[in-house]
Structure 1
Amino acid sequence: MIEFGVFGGGSWATALVKILTDNKITVNWYLRRAKQANAIQETGSNPDYLNFVHLDTQYIRCSSDKQTVARKSPVILFAVPSGQLANLLEDFDAAWINGKIVLNSIKGTVGDQHEIPSAFISTQLGIPEKLQGILAGPCHAEEIGHRKKTYLTVAAPDVEVQQLLRGCFVSDYIEVRLANDIAGIEYAAIYKNVVGLVCGMAKGLHYGDNFLAVLVANALQELKDVLQQMGRSSELLNSSYAGDLLVTAYSAHSRNRSFGEMIGRGYSVDKAKGAMQMVAEGYRATRGLYQLTKELPCQLPILQTAYRVLFKYMPVLTEFKLLEQKLK
């Protein structure tokens, strides 16, 4: 039976480990902190994230040694926040994973060049295109933890890799959709976090559902424009693209929505960041996507609103009054 090497100890990584171990797949799980690794191995529960989820420890091998996890595992899965990926790979030897499938489920830009995760990993570790893949939503880790019906997307250029990965994740509560547009789905995953953040701002400012519907409809058009300008798929109306945006915009589970709501209620950016117990990827995603798209010949007022509030420290209500006039 195939084994996975999972790198990441947060709620999303925990949810993915649950899916794999529910399917009786052995997971070699890298956790940076030995205390967390020991607790999971001893109790079958992650004490820091999704601690209500029971994990079958007979299929889990926790370790704080990157090399051990990487060498043991035919499939490597990176599931860390985008801001941690560069540090994770800093002393990561490409020889450890030579010839292995490398899957990432990271939703944000990486490094000073604001690269999408698949491109950054490929550059750092020299992964051939046919061995690359991504795992995307639409979903929230909390609902996977409760075994609620969920649809995942596996994107990979190689059809055999797609089918192998699908077989590892599909279950009675998980459906898996297959795709080959790695970069397009990654851009959509990055942008949806920005949208979730802006929807949270709207809620914090006491805008209602009527406004939110217009905001999300405009966000879908912005995403379509970005994907077209990037030369990616414009087939937006499926779960791999629009689905992830919608669940982040509307769900109470969305960290980005919660972060944005605090901003809308008057928290400073720094105070809101300090109040979050988990990473809100939309903060970094806003800056990264803004830098990637600022020269594109398309109008992106929702992204620009998020950027001006978060990084230019403009008053959120003032920016939303301007945004009202730009929505269609």
Structure 2
Amino acid sequence: MDKHVSNKIGVIGSGSWATAMIKMLTDNQSDKEVYWWVRKDEDIEYIQSYKHNPSYLTAVEIKMPFENISSDVKYIVNNSEIIILNTPAAYLKDALKELTSDDFDGKIIVSAIKGIIPDENQIVGEYLTQTYGIPLENILVVGGPCHAEEVSQEKLSYLTFGCNDLKKAEMVAGFYRSRYINTIISDDILGIEYGAVLKNIYALAGGICHGLGFGDNFQAVLVSNAIREMEYFVETIDSTSRDINASAYLGDLLVTAYSQFSRNRTFGNMIGKGYSVKSAQLEMNMVAEGYYASNCIQGIIARYELDMPICNMVYQILYNNSPAPKEVNTLAKKLS
């Protein structure tokens, strides 16, 4: 870090994953000061009165100084040296719109966002570097497998912290480690971030197939093909040495494809059962990142002329209104 190392950490976002982050950071016994950006003032008032997020992970007790919770993003960022970005990718630009490059100067920025910025078609690390001039060595990404709901129940979970500077990855990981959180360190920032984007698309595919009535045998083959497709994609984008069977890639894919808590699988399941995209979005209270990612990844696939049949199937169903049974049956003939 360009400035002195600090224990002041700011979390940007107030959904379920952000609330889980607040729990992890405040349960950890290391010396630090946590700040939290919550978008709605009425939610802040509720948290201050009842010590719980009114909308997400409502059973989690908020254990932090309430004066450190604010809807003023500049206040949170200016009081923190490590910034955890934890909004849906589609809403990140709006959350940061009041900030400039000067606000981020010398700070470590951690992306806990598993999606792509839609208009720019960029992963978060690329967007931060291009828009705010943040050096890549000051950017970290957080990978799973780790669902917020299980964090709220304090079930043993694992987080992977990726950064070009492993000392910074280790430092930030230390703020999360606890009796129910284990951490892994990696220098594969691009692979972890793109893998997190892709696994949401594959979970959507699994949900669509489940909604259509395909069973566990087919799902196993689908996921087996998905991890190979992911490896093909990330190795084309970035030649960094990685083990695609590691937790941040295969592990995160498995939990997102199979877990009852997976919003992307749930969204896909609704599509498979005949919901329109709009009706599925309206019924869900949380953002399915895979929906936006499908459109963005398709542009990258076209640019590199990649053969990615699972991603293509999801895109055809979601954006070209192609019948799901037709697309899945076409895909089934390509799987091995």
Q: TM-score scaled to structure 1, two decimals?
A: 0.97
Structure 1 counterpart of 2:164:
157
Matched, 1:272 2:277: no
Specify whether residues 306 and 180 from structure 1 end up closer, same or farther in structure 2 by C-alpha distance, changes over 3 A only: same
Spell out, residue by residue over 1:4-29, the C-alpha distance to the aligned partner (whole angstroms, 9 max, x if none): 11100100000011000111542210
169-178 vs 21-30, greater mean Cα deviation: 21-30
Root-mean-square deviation (CA), in Å? 1.4
Matched, 1:28 2:48: no
Asked whether the 8 Å contact 1:183–1:232 carries over to 2, the reply is: no
Asked whether the 8 Å contact 1:152–1:175 carries over to 2, the reply is: yes
Matched, 1:320 2:316: no
156-165 vs 293-302, greater mean Cα deviation: 293-302
Structure 2 counterpart of 1:51:
58
Q: Matched residue of 1:176: which SS?
A: strand
Q: Given residue 326 of structure 2, which amino acid in structure 1 is its aligned partner? A: T
Deviation, structure 1 residue 60: 7.0
Alpha-carbon distance in 1 for matches of 2:156, 2:256: 16
Structure 2 counterpart of 1:294:
302
Aligned residues: 328
291-300 vs 202-211, greater mean Cα deviation: 291-300
Asked whether the 8 Å contact 2:166–2:186 carries over to 1, the reply is: no
Alpha-carbon distance in 2 for matches of 1:187, 1:60: 36
Q: Given residue 291 of structure 2, which amino acid in structure 1 is its aligned partner? A: Y
Q: Quick one: which of 97, 102, 121 aligns to 2:104?
A: 97
Percent identity at matched positions? Answer: 38
* Aligned pairs (5 A) from 1:148-227: 148-227=155-234
77-86 vs 21-30, greater mean Cα deviation: 21-30
Asked whether the 8 Å contact 1:26–1:60 carries over to 2, the reply is: no
Q: Quick one: which of 12, 20, 26 aligns to 1:15?
A: 20
Alpha-carbon distance in 1 for matches of 2:170, 2:331: 43
Which stretches of structure 1, 4 residues or more, deviate above 4 A after TM superposition? none
Asked whether the 8 Å contact 2:84–2:111 carries over to 1, the reply is: yes
Alpha-carbon distance in 2 for matches of 1:66, 1:187: 27
Asked whether the 8 Å contact 1:29–1:60 carries over to 2, the reply is: no
Deviation, structure 1 residue 219: 0.3
Asked whether the 8 Å contact 2:73–2:98 carries over to 1, the reply is: no
Q: Matched residue of 1:294: which SS?
A: helix
Q: Which runs of 5+ in 2 are unaligned?
A: 1-5
Deviation, structure 1 residue 286: 0.6
Q: Given residue 11 of structure 1, which amino acid in structure 2 is its aligned partner? A: S
Q: Matched residue of 2:18: which SS?
A: helix
Q: Matched residue of 1:135: which SS?
A: strand
Asked whether the 8 Å contact 1:187–1:227 carries over to 2, the reply is: yes
Spell out, residue by residue over 1:40-86, the C-alpha distance to the aligned partner (whole angstroms, 9 max, x if none): 22322100100011121348711011111111111111000000011
Spell out, residue by residue over 1:155-209, the C-alpha distance to the aligned partner (whole angstroms, 9 max, x if none): 1111221121121011110000000111111100000000111100111011000
Q: Matched residue of 2:122: which SS?
A: coil
Alpha-carbon distance in 1 for matches of 2:116, 2:290: 10
Q: Given residue 276 of structure 1, which amino acid in structure 2 is its aligned partner? A: M
Q: TM-score scaled to structure 2, two decimals?
A: 0.94
Deviation, structure 1 residue 130: 2.1
Asked whether the 8 Å contact 1:27–1:60 carries over to 2, the reply is: no
Structure 2 counterpart of 1:115:
122
Alpha-carbon distance in 1 for matches of 2:191, 2:223: 19
Matched, 1:263 2:266: no
Q: Which runs of 5+ in 1 are unaligned?
A: none
